[in-house]
Amino acid sequence: MGMIYFDSNMCVGKQGLKHPMELWKTEDVLSVMEQCAVSAALVYSGWSKDYAPRYGNERLMKELQKNDRLYGCYTILPNLYGDFFDPDEMVRDIKEKGFVATKMFPGSHKFTPDERTMGYYYSALEKENIPLLVDSSEIGFSYAEHILERHPDLKLLLLGVGWGEERKIFPLLREYQNLYLDFSLLQTNYVIERMLQNYGADRFVFGSGMPKMSLGAARSLIDYAQISQGDKQKIAGGNLARLCGLPIPKLQKMKNDDIAKGAAEGKPISAFVFDSHTHILEEGGHCGGGYAMPNGDLEHMDALFTRMGVDQYCVAPWLGIWTDSEAGNEVMLDMVHKKPEKAVGYVLIDPNYVDDIELEASKYHLDHKVPGIKMFYGRTHVRYNDPVFDPWWKIANGNSLFALLDYGSYPGYLQDVEELALRYPNVSFFLDHAGRDFNGAISNARYAKKYPNIYLQITYTTVTQGVMEYFVKEGLADKVLYGTDAPMRDPRPQLGWVVYADIPTEDKKKILGGNMKKILERCFRDTQIEG
């Protein structure tokens, strides 16, 4: 039997600062739900957030009438200016309109969510057993704890707790049994498994952040979770239905292609998959630069990749990225030797520490046939076209290597890559995080169209809904590369971003691995020392 998904974190309606390509219409949201086989969604109103709660709640009622798979989340506000209801009136309005949960935006609506301002509202919701949702970015952990401590029977669902904030949320989960979380931005490696190990399955819900974020990406994290089917169903939809006092929605049949159907069952992807962007840790490493990366060693990552159906992966160890490129290169080489049929290496060189760049590059590229280059301005502060890298680029050009360059590292980044692409036509340049948002996607696509050796590498936490479709529509299916940033991020959402996209099956195959396979086949063909 398939998994029943009930989304806790979805918006319909108009919002300010919307990009023209972002979805907002109820009909569009329902179409994506159909595409990803999501049975139901708890939705709030864009009008409520960006204009006025009372107006937005009324508009949302009309949208809810379009389909019985959508349930309303009522936006609340303290009645300090006569622009909202007192608590008792609010409860009556919620019940009359048939809403099943509430949401507040203290940051956007500029009020303090403390007991003095909102205590009467929290008590009213607590008494009526109506859950309260709030985005982590709108409230912060201190005020969340303030509410949890004073209202132990209020069900508080904290949405969008960010990747990188795990150590802040763990103590709250341990202390307060009335705290619930979604996984829309909580993409720490092995995050679901770790959360359930520590806190059980009853306080976590499926949430996507649609329509800004990919619904398929959110689904894939749970599809491939290494937990029991019973716990998986709780998170996918059962917990949210229980919180809202609703029956579990009906199963939605997957109508996507065979690749998506297999993923929906948690099976390894049937097509060839090549992860072009990983940062696997040395043995025993769990932390890098302050980020939690549990189970980020080669053994655990390879096991997860195998479960997903990843056939090969490119390795740029986090040690080399963040601190010590020379030691990182040795870690990389060790991993390639341990998994020669799967692991492909990236070489890192930090010119602030390495005196002879040509010697370091030759050692790994020429002696050990490592095909990848990884440069990260964020830690070296050396531009990618700096003359210090010229010997490295000449070796790369002479051997048709590929280079992963962190997107938006500094002003003029794309112009520098353009210069390099012209000077070194045999090098394949990967624009990292190319689909982080629509503005970035459009800018990057312009260069990928113009230069045959510039490619788009998709990795990013926010997994923007519609970006895959945009790239394919622009005729760039041959230029897009799947990657995950694992274990810096859990790799499963990045997979779902592609797998559940509304694009032809053949284009999914290209993005997932076909394009990268062709690039790799070109490496070291007609080897030269310099180009």
Residue 526 has pLDDT above 70, yes or no: no
Q: 71-87 pLDDT, tens per residue?
A: 999 999 999 999 999 99
Two tokens, residue 291: 């980020």
Per CATH, 6-255 and 259-522 having the same topology is answered yes
Domain ranges in the chain are 6-255, 259-522
Dihedral pair phi/psi, residue 404, rounded to 5°: -100, 115
* Residues 529, 523: Cα–Cα separation, whole Å: 13
Dihedral pair phi/psi, residue 374, rounded to 5°: -125, 120
Residues 6+ apart with CB under 8 A from 444: 407, 414, 431, 434, 435, 456
DSSP state of 221: H
Residues across the chain:
531
Q: Which superfamily, per CATH, for 6-255?
A: Metal-dependent hydrolases (3.20.20.140)
The CATH code that applies to domain 259-522 is 3.20.20.140
Residue 528 has pLDDT above 60, yes or no: no
Q: 86-117 pLDDT, tens per residue?
A: 999 999 999 999 999 999 999 999 999 999 99
**Opening angle at CA 227, ends 222 and 229, nearest 5:** 80
Q: What is the pTM for the complete model shown?
A: 0.95
Q: 114-156 pLDDT, tens per residue?
A: 999 999 999 999 999 999 999 999 999 999 999 999 999 999 9
* Residues 418, 378: Cα–Cα separation, whole Å: 19
Angle between the 87-97 and 53-64 helix axes, to the nearest 10 degrees? 20
Instruction: Say if CB 212 and CB 22 are below 8 A apart.
Output: yes
> DSSP strand E in 141-248: where?
156-159, 179-182, 204-205
| DSSP track, 419-441 | HHHHH-TTSEEEETTTTSSHHHH
What average pLDDT score do residues 449-472 get?
A: 96
* Residues 151, 5: Cα–Cα separation, whole Å: 29
Q: 182 pLDDT band (50/70/90 cuts)?
A: very high
What is the CB neighbour count within 10 angstroms for residue 128? 13
Q: 200-210 pLDDT, tens per residue?
A: 999 999 999 99
**Alpha carbon of 318 to those of 139, 146, 278, 289, 361: distances in Å?**
32, 37, 9, 9, 18
Residues 6+ apart with CB under 8 A from 282: 297, 317, 319, 331
Q: Mean of the per-residue pLDDT values for the chain?
A: 95
Two tokens, residue 74: 């009522």
Strand 343-347 with 372-375, pairing: parallel
**Alpha carbon of 453 to those of 292, 457, 517, 519: distances in Å?**
35, 13, 15, 10
